[in-house]
Chain A
Amino acid sequence: MLGAVTLDGTAVSVRGLLKRYGERTAVAGVDLEIPRGEVFALLGPNGAGKTTTVEILEGYRSRDGGEVSVLGVDPAHATRPWRSRVGIVLQSVTDLSELTVAETVRHFAGYYPSPRDPDEVIATVGLSDSADQRARLLSGGQRRRLDVALGILGRPELLFLDEPTTGFDPAARRLFWDLVEDLAHEGTTILLTTHYLDEAERLADRVGVIAAGRIVEVASPAALGGRQHAEATVSWTDPDGSRRSLRTAEPTRAVSELAATFAGEIPDLAVTRPTLEDVYLAMVGAQ
Chain B
Amino acid sequence: MTASVTQEAGRLPGTWSIGLRRVQIELLQFSRDREAAFFTMLLPVLLLVVFGSAFTGDVAPGVPFSQYFLAGMLASGIVYTSFQNLAISIPQERDDGTLKRLQGTPMPSAAYFLGKVGLVLVIYVVQVVVMMAIGVTLFGVHLPSTAADWWTFTWVSVLGLVCCTMLGIAFSSVPRSGRGASALVSPIVLVLQFTSGVFFQFDELPHWMQQMAALFPLKWLCQGMRSVFLPDSFQRQELAGSWELGRTALVLTVWSLAAVVLALRYFRFRRRDDN
Contact = CB atoms under 8 A, between A and B. Distances in A.
B18 interface: yes
B21 A93 contact: no
Interface string B1-35: 00000100111110001100100110011001100
B28 A154 contact: no
Contact of A95 (B9, B17, B101, B108): B101
A111 B15 CA distance: 9
A168 to B, nearest CB: 19
A113 B107 CA distance: 11
A108 B9 contact: no
Interface in B30-56: 32-33
B242 interface: no
A2 B10 contact: yes
B4 to A, nearest CB: 14
A61 B93 contact: no
B105 A58 contact: no
A93 B104 CA distance: 13
Contact of A99 (B28, B93, B106, B107): B28
B97 interface: yes
- Going nearest first, the 3 A-B pairs with the smallest beta carbon separation are A93-B97, A95-B98, A98-B32
B101 A150 contact: yes
Contacts of A62: 275
Interface residues of B, number: 29
A103 interface: yes
A99 B29 contact: yes
Interface string A222-258: 0000000000000000000000000000000000000
A113 B10 contact: yes
Interface in A82-96: 83-84, 86, 88, 90, 92-96
A93 B96 contact: yes
Given A99-B25, A150-B101, 9 more contacts: A1-B6, A59-B104, A83-B106, A90-B100, A103-B25, A107-B21, A110-B21, A111-B107, A112-B12
Contacts of B10: 1-2, 113-114
Interface string B85-97: 0000000010011
A172 B18 CA distance: 34
Contact of B97 (A80, A94, A110): A94
B13 A110 contact: yes
Contacts of B24: 107
B111 to A, nearest CB: 8
Contacts of B100: 60, 90, 93
Nearest to A150: B101
Contacts of A92: 97
Contacts of A170: none
A89 to B, nearest CB: 9
Contacts of B21: 107, 110
B25 A114 contact: no
Given A83-B105, A113-B10, A95 B97 contact: yes
A98 B105 contact: no
B103 interface: yes
B254 to A, nearest CB: 34
Contacts of A108: 105
Given A99-B28, A111-B13, A113-B10, A83 B96 contact: no
Nearest to B269: A60
A81 interface: yes
A157 to B, nearest CB: 13
26 contacts: A58-B104, A60-B104, A80-B108, A81-B106, A83-B106, A84-B12, A84-B106, A88-B101, A90-B100, A92-B97, A93-B98, A93-B101, A95-B97, A98-B28, A99-B25, A99-B29, A103-B28, A110-B17, A110-B18, A110-B21, A111-B107, A112-B12, A113-B10, A113-B11, A113-B106, A154-B105
A114 B9 contact: yes
A80 B28 contact: no
B91 to A, nearest CB: 13
A134 B32 CA distance: 11
A86 B105 CA distance: 8
A111 B28 CA distance: 18
